[in-house]
Amino acid sequence: MKAVFIVADGLAGRPTDVAGKTCLEAARTPNLDELARRGAIGLVDPIAPGIRPGSDTAHLSLLGYDPYQVYAGRGVFECLGIGMSVQPGDVCFRANFATVTPDEDGFIVKDRRAGRISFGQHELAEALNAISLKKSVGVEFDFRASTQHRGALLLRGEQLSRFVTDNDPHRSGKKAVAFRPIVGHDDEAACRTATALNELVTYSYEVLHDHPVNQQRDRAGEHPANYILARGASILPCLDPIETIYGVRGAVISGGALYRGIALACGMEPIDAPGATGGLDTDLRSKAKTALEALKTFDYVFIHVKGTDNAGHDKDAAGKTSFIQRIDAELIGPLMDGIDWNAAHLAFTGDHTTPIDYGDHTAEPVPVLFVGPNVRQDLTVAFGERDAGRGGLCRFSGQILPMLFNYNNWAPKFGS
Ligand SMILES: [Zn+2]
């Protein structure tokens, strides 16, 4: 048996068009409708009813973990997702280049994204990594650039703590905030971590502001990438790998570092699909082809697509609807043709609702579908939020991967 688990990020919505349909309901999705007809659908609360999920906590819950038990911040997933090796004790952050101007006792953030820098990031990262911290003896760090202004930062050393605040003021024109121990966790390790971070970001201006990449940006009239903002302090979560729980090996196909990182933390192996990005321009046919190829060697494949959520955050109803239509035609279609339906189960869902009017995650439940030979077919013939409310699976919380694996007879028994 094989299994395919697909998450379309921020898939679900609220009534958006004049007829009161969500983007998913308005989209033409003949393939998903056909799978709903062959299988069973329902509504899933990604974490629990009324809880607004982050993408990271929602994914942990859908993958079968209790995020309240295991979640230890987001930065570690970003580090893992861009290929950094994270060890127990390391403290990880989401980080990005920013543009600052020095002030008498700090730095004013002019642009939190450094003009969405599109060249020279790796040279700048190299310059940063050459810094050695003088006050914070024994603390090492690694900054890795990913796409545009984004990157990840890892601190390594004895006695570090994830209980430190961010330096991101979250608004342009404001002063970069000093890292501080979080109240209630302000022990020696948190103080040492905050000191190392403050030292690092101060040096970051010294080595970056006059760097040739920034001189070039300056000549081109672009904002220099002359400072580092870091947030989402976290450590390696304590997770039982999926292979240990179920005895099966899986691969992840995702253009987004966060999702690849979560899957890696759960023990999946990353596979690159050519042309796959974390946006609306991703090559969905390439993801389908890569997944079908991966199924020859892996027991299951987890495919993540991000464009649905991006369009939701951008309040772009037409963009979300048309991306859902592309998922149906370019991802689901080729998978339907390529999967051996006598020996495979597939689950399709979202990790939360991202309504167009709100532009951020909300707590409504998300439609989910399961299809394959062991699924008890329900009476629904279309896939959407309201159809899912009438589906045979009713409404439940998280646990999509365990449910999918149960259909494959891979689930361990609880009790005797
Ligand atoms: Zn999400």
What pairs with residue 227 in β-bridges? 98
Whether pLDDT at 105 is above 90: no
Among 16, 36, 67, smallest CA distance to 353 is for: 16
Give the pLDDT of residue 136.
Answer: 86
Q: Which residue has the tokens 């149906």?
A: 328
Give the pLDDT of residue 135.
Answer: 86
What's the token pair of residue 392?
A: 């045979």
Nearest 5°: the CA angle 325, 328, 334 is 140
CA–centroid distance, 199 to ligand 1, in Å, is: 33
Give the pLDDT of residue 137.
Answer: 85
Nearest 5°: the CA angle 205, 129, 74 is 90
The residue type of 318 is: A
Give the pLDDT of residue 13.
Answer: 98
The residue type of 265 is: A
313: which residues sit within 8 A by CB, 6+ positions away?
A: 10, 354, 359, 360
Going by pLDDT thresholds of 50, 70 and 90, the confidence category of residue 186 is confident
Q: What is the DSSP letter of 301?
A: E
CA–centroid distance, 181 to ligand 1, in Å, is: 29
Q: Report phi then psi at 298, rounded to 5.
A: -105, 155
What pairs with residue 154 in β-bridges? 92, 142
CA–centroid distance, 242 to ligand 1, in Å, is: 21
CA–centroid distance, 191 to ligand 1, in Å, is: 32
148-161 pLDDT, tens per residue?
A: 889 999 999 999 99
H or E stretch covering 103: strand 91-103
Tell me if residue 22 falls in helix, strand or coil: coil
CA–centroid distance, 192 to ligand 1, in Å, is: 33
Whether pLDDT at 292 is above 90: yes
What's the token pair of residue 175?
A: 């002063």
CA–centroid distance, 175 to ligand 1, in Å, is: 30
- Cβ burial, residue 19 (10 Å; 0-12/13-18/19+): exposed
Is pTM beyond 0.85? Reply is: yes
The residue type of 83 is: G
Report yes or no: 369 and 39 within 8 Å, Cβ to Cβ: yes
Give the mean model confidence (pLDDT) for residues 366-375. Answer: 98
Q: Report phi then psi at 152, rounded to 5.
A: -145, 150
Q: Please, where are the H alpha helices in 295-331?
A: 307-313, 317-326
CA–centroid distance, 308 to ligand 1, in Å, is: 9
The CATH superfamily assigned to 2-71+238-407 is Alkaline Phosphatase, subunit A (3.40.720.10)
CA–centroid distance, 339 to ligand 1, in Å, is: 26
Q: How far apart are CA 308 and CA 182, in angstroms?
A: 35
Give the pLDDT of residue 154.
Answer: 97
Tell me if residue 208 falls in helix, strand or coil: helix
- Cβ burial, residue 396 (10 Å; 0-12/13-18/19+): middle
Report yes or no: 355 and 369 within 8 Å, Cβ to Cβ: no
87: which residues sit within 8 A by CB, 6+ positions away?
A: 156, 236
Q: Which residue has the tokens 């994830």?
A: 162
CA–centroid distance, 319 to ligand 1, in Å, is: 17
CA–centroid distance, 96 to ligand 1, in Å, is: 20
User: Rounded mean pLDDT of the chain?
Assistant: 96
CA–centroid distance, 54 to ligand 1, in Å, is: 6
Report yes or no: 283 and 305 within 8 Å, Cβ to Cβ: no
CA–centroid distance, 10 to ligand 1, in Å, is: 5
What's the token pair of residue 336?
A: 């339907």
Q: How far apart are CA 404 and CA 371, in angstroms?
A: 9
Residues with Cβ–ion distance below 5 A, ligand 1 = 9, 55, 309, 351
Whether pLDDT at 229 is above 90: yes
CA–centroid distance, 6 to ligand 1, in Å, is: 13
CA–centroid distance, 397 to ligand 1, in Å, is: 16
Q: What is the DSSP letter of 98?
A: E
CA–centroid distance, 409 to ligand 1, in Å, is: 28
Among 62, 44, 35, smallest CA distance to 335 is for: 35
Give the mean model confidence (pLDDT) for residues 160-177. Answer: 94
CA–centroid distance, 205 to ligand 1, in Å, is: 33
CA–centroid distance, 346 to ligand 1, in Å, is: 20
CA–centroid distance, 45 to ligand 1, in Å, is: 13
CA–centroid distance, 135 to ligand 1, in Å, is: 39
Q: Please, where are the H alpha helices in 100-256?
A: 121-129, 188-208, 212-219, 242-246
- Write down the domain spans for the chain: 2-71+238-407, 80-234
What's the token pair of residue 272?
A: 């690159």
CA–centroid distance, 292 to ligand 1, in Å, is: 24
Nearest 5°: the CA angle 92, 94, 98 is 130
CA–centroid distance, 131 to ligand 1, in Å, is: 35
Euclidean distance between the first and final Cα of the chain, in Å?
A: 24
4-40 pLDDT, tens per residue?
A: 999 999 999 999 988 999 999 999 999 999 999 999 9
CA–centroid distance, 212 to ligand 1, in Å, is: 37
CA–centroid distance, 351 to ligand 1, in Å, is: 5
CA–centroid distance, 354 to ligand 1, in Å, is: 8
Nearest 5°: the CA angle 283, 58, 245 is 95
CA–centroid distance, 309 to ligand 1, in Å, is: 6
